[in-house]
Amino acid sequence: MAKNSMYLYGKNSVFERLKADPASIRQVFIQDNFKAPDIITLIKSLKIPVKHVNDNELLKIKRADRLQGIVAEIKKYEYINFDYLLNKGLEEKLSFIFLDSLNDPHNLGSIMRIAACFSGFALVIPEHSSCEINETVIHVASGGESFVPVAKVTNLSNALQKAKKAGYWAVGTVVEDGENINKVSLPFPICLVLGTEGRGIRYGIQKHLDMKITLPMAGAELSFNVAMACAIFSHEIAKQRGE
C-alpha cells in the first residue's frame, strides 16, 4: 500500500464511500464468494479497478474482523485547514464539536457518524494526545467521514479562542454543576466541547468556556461514553438551530 493510501473495509463503509466520494477510491479487492449485486454494479458503473481474491489473500491486505468480503484502497484521509473551516463555518452556519484528548478510535468514528446524521457539524481535534483519523475510525464512521469536515490543530485551546473571536460561543459539557441541557437556551454559532471520560475537559480549555451544560440523569450512577453524550447534545443543538 502506498504511503498516501489507507484501507476501508466492510460492505456499508465501502458502499457509502462509493456513493459519496468515488474519486477517492483507487481500487477494490473483492472476495471470490462476495455477494452484493448493488455494490458490484456501482463499482462497474464507476469503472473502479477491481481485483478478485480469496479469503486468505483479503486478510493479508487488511487484517481485521468482519471484512465482509470487501476492502477498498482509498486516498489517505485529508484534514481541512482550521482557518478555512472557521470561515466555512460562519458562512454555512456550522456547529463545531471540539474533542479534547479523545483516544478511542471507535468513539471518534461514532462521533463522525453522529455528526453526519444530524448534519451541519464539523469536528476539531488536537494534533497531540488524541486519536487521529485512521482506518478503524473510518470503518466505524460507516460513510460519515465523507460528510463531516475535520480540522486537526496544534493547540485546541488556541483554536477555541480563535473561534470565539470570530463570533462563536464555547459551550462545554460537564458531569455536574452545569446548566440543564433540557432547559437551557443555547447560544449560536456554537462550539460544543467534549472531554474524555473520567477526566473531562482540561482546565486550560475550561477557562475559555462561555457556558457549561449538564445532562441530568435520574437513573443508576453511571455515565454515557463520549459518543453517546455527543449524540444527545448534538440532537439538542440541531433542534435549537431549528432543524
- Summarised one tens digit per residue, pLDDT across range 50-97 is 999 999 999 999 998 889 999 999 999 999 999 999 999 999 999 999
* H or E element, residue 165: helix 156-165
Average pLDDT, the chain: 93
User: For the residues 134-153, what does the mean pLDDT come to?
Assistant: 95
Residue range 82-240, CATH number: 3.40.1280.10
pLDDT at 158 over 90: yes
Going by C-alpha positions, the residue among 9, 16, 27 that lies closest to residue 68 is 9
CATH fold, domain 5-75, is 60s Ribosomal Protein L30; Chain: A; (3.30.1330)
Cα angle 21-26-28, degrees, rounded to a multiple of 5: 95
pLDDT of residue 177: 86
pLDDT at 199 over 90: no
pLDDT category at 113 given cuts 50, 70, 90 is: very high
Per-residue cell: 175: 458531569
Q: What proportion of the chain, given as a percentage, has pLDDT over 90?
A: 86
pLDDT of residue 222: 59
* H or E element, residue 51: strand 50-53
pLDDT category at 2 given cuts 50, 70, 90 is: low
pLDDT at 243 over 60: no
pLDDT category at 120 given cuts 50, 70, 90 is: very high
Domain edges within the chain = 5-75, 82-240
Chain centroid offset of residue 25 CA = 19
pLDDT of residue 129: 84
Distance CA 74, CA 4 (A): 9
pLDDT of residue 211: 97
The reply to whether omega before 189 is within 30° of 0 (cis) is yes
pTM for the whole structure: 0.93
pLDDT at 107 over 80: yes
pLDDT at 218 over 90: no
Chain centroid offset of residue 231 CA = 12
User: For the residues 166-178, what does the mean pLDDT come to?
Assistant: 93
The residue count for the chain: 243
pLDDT category at 1 given cuts 50, 70, 90 is: low
- How are strands ordered across the β-sheet holding 190-194? 150-153, 121-126, 95-99, 190-194, 169-173, 211-214, 179-180
pLDDT at 225 over 80: yes
